[in-house]
């Protein structure tokens, strides 16, 4: 990645933190909403590909400013966003990310929270503006594969749903020279990624989690640190798993990446109390839904990249 390209991304309001060269033949871009989404959702997949020499990038739409953080953890930090940025960069090192790209918007919080109304909240931004930022990233990084949330955003978080919408739009726009022509004039040539995936836990997996939570005396409709995540509905809304990535070999590293997000670790505490073999089994596979090109019921994929790529 050249200095010129970095300045171009800055011009689009993107704060890029480069950790490695982007010279790899295979490049993969994840677009999620908050620091920790990449680790709690797809740490194993990121580790698998970064370990195999793929340039893996993370576009993070916010800095998680609305996250619930214990006051003692904020000592030495200006605010929640500053703390979570540091946590994100620590996780990035563990994951072997090539770059982390902050889009500069504010965490919108959960549905109905006052954070929804903040003028800088992600969900209050013009979709075309945020999609344009992602188009700029795609044109600069030139990934073959893009991954984001499904339509329900995993568990209904407004920022997740918004990311799904703008990333899907950006995937469709990035290769079109008539869209965002000002980027082309600024040196960012059109680039059409080959594949778009939505991350998914899959209905079967989430139904298993719901069953185990009930066995442990937990309410699966009130999951998470604040009890505001309904896993029962998430299981109903999950997109089908067309692609399963074997992540078993990266269990310990994935745990280390998640532990970097210390301020947000409370929601998976019950998982840590499970026997280690069961923890490993739950983390042995990560699931995705292939959207482009459409999956038509053929054999389940085991790789995000096209064959022979």
For range 188-210, the mean pLDDT:
93
pLDDT at 225: 67
Residue 267 banded pLDDT, cuts 50, 70, 90: very low
Distance CA 95, CA 51 (A): 9
Residue 20 banded pLDDT, cuts 50, 70, 90: very high
Question: What average pLDDT does the chain have?
Answer: 92
Residue 270 confidence (pLDDT) above 60 = no
Query: Helices 251-260 and 37-51, interaxial angle, to 10°?
Result: 140
Peptide bond between residue 268 and the one before it cis (omega within 30 degrees of 0): no
Residue 7 confidence (pLDDT) above 80 = no
Q: Where are the domains of the chain?
A: 3-201+241-292
**Domain spanning 3-201+241-292: CATH 1.10.150.120:** no
Cα three-residue angle 196-104-97, rounded to 5 degrees = 55
Distance CA 63, CA 66 (A): 9
For range 185-196, the mean pLDDT:
97
Q: Tell me the pTM.
A: 0.93
Residue 274 confidence (pLDDT) above 80 = no
Distance CA 274, CA 33 (A): 28
Say what the alpha-carbon torsion angle 188, 82, 48, 42 is, to the nearest 10 degrees: -100
* 207, containing H or E segment: helix 203-215
């Amino acid at each position: 990645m050249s200095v010129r390209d970095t300045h171009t991304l800055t011009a689009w309001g993107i704060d890029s933190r480069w950790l490695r060269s982007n010279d790899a033949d295979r490049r993969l871009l994840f677009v999620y909403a908050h620091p920790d989404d990449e680790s709690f959702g797809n740490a194993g997949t990121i580790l698998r590909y970064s370990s195999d020499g793929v340039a893996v990038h993370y576009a993070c739409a916010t800095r998680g400013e609305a996250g619930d953080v214990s006051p003692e953890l904020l000592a030495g930090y200006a605010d929640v966003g500053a703390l979570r940025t540091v946590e994100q960069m620590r996780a990035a090192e563990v994951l072997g990310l090539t770059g982390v790209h902050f889009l500069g918007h504010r965490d919108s919080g959960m549905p109905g929270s006052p954070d929804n109304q903040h003028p800088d909240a992600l969900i209050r931004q013009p979709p075309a503006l945020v999609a344009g930022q992602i188009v700029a990233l795609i044109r600069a990084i030139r990934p073959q594969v893009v991954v984001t949330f499904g339509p329900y955003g995993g568990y209904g978080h407004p920022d997740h749903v918004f990311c799904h919408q703008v990333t899907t739009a950006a995937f469709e726009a990035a290769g079109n020279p008539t869209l965002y022509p000002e980027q082309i004039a600024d040196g960012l040539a059109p680039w059409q990624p080959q594949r778009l995936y939505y991350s998914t836990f899959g209905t079967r997996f989430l139904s298993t989690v719901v069953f185990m939570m009930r066995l442990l005396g937990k309410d699966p409709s009130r999951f998470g640190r604040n009890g505001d995540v309904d896993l029962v509905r998430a299981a109903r809304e999950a997109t089908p798993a067309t692609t399963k990535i074997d992540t078993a070999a990266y269990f310990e590293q994935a745990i280390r990446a998640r532990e970097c997000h210390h301020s947000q670790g409370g929601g998976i505490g019950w998982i840590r109390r499970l026997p280690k073999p069961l923890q490993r089994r739950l983390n042995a596979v990560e699931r995705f839904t292939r959207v482009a090109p459409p999956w038509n019921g053929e054999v389940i994929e085991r790789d995000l990249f096209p064959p022979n790529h």
